[in-house]
Amino acid sequence: MRLETILTPERCFCNLPGVSKKRFLTTVSELISEATHSLSADQIYTALLAREQLGSTGIGNGIAIPHCRVADCKTITGTLVTLEEGIDFDAIDSRTVDLLFVLIVPAEEMNEHLKVLGAVASLFHQEEFCNKLRQARSAQELYDIATSF
């Protein structure tokens, strides 16, 4: 799977301030809502928070892949974020998180959700990919790196 099928430059955010997990989920929900115009920030936030309550989406090595299914979502939507400073995301290795890929999926797309989530996780397990993303200095650069792998 190529990230350009679910990611746009408008949904890439470089060096956002990192405050806390809850504040990040609020901020990213608002940013996704503004970029998509079809989903409310409240819907996204509620779904992401509910998923995080089941268990952290922090996969280790400073990476998290918050994801959820949303009833009003029409298409799989990805958002790529780097943070100025790492935040506690209850990751499996207890490290702070500074690189995040948020995945919003239509509620009925259970199989596709798992398939895309697996593909995204595989990308983020590549050290070279993550190092390049962390070195990006703009949203466009983030997008260009993400879509070149």
Task: Report, as residue numbers or ranges, the catalytic residues.
Answer: 67
First to last CA, the chain: 10
d(C-alpha 37, C-alpha 23), whole Å: 21
Hey, what long-range contacts does 92-95 have (CB within 8 A, 24 or more apart)? 92/56, 92/58, 92/59, 92/60, 93/58, 93/60, 93/61, 95/60, 95/61, 95/62
Give the H/E segment covering residue 24.
Answer: helix 21-36
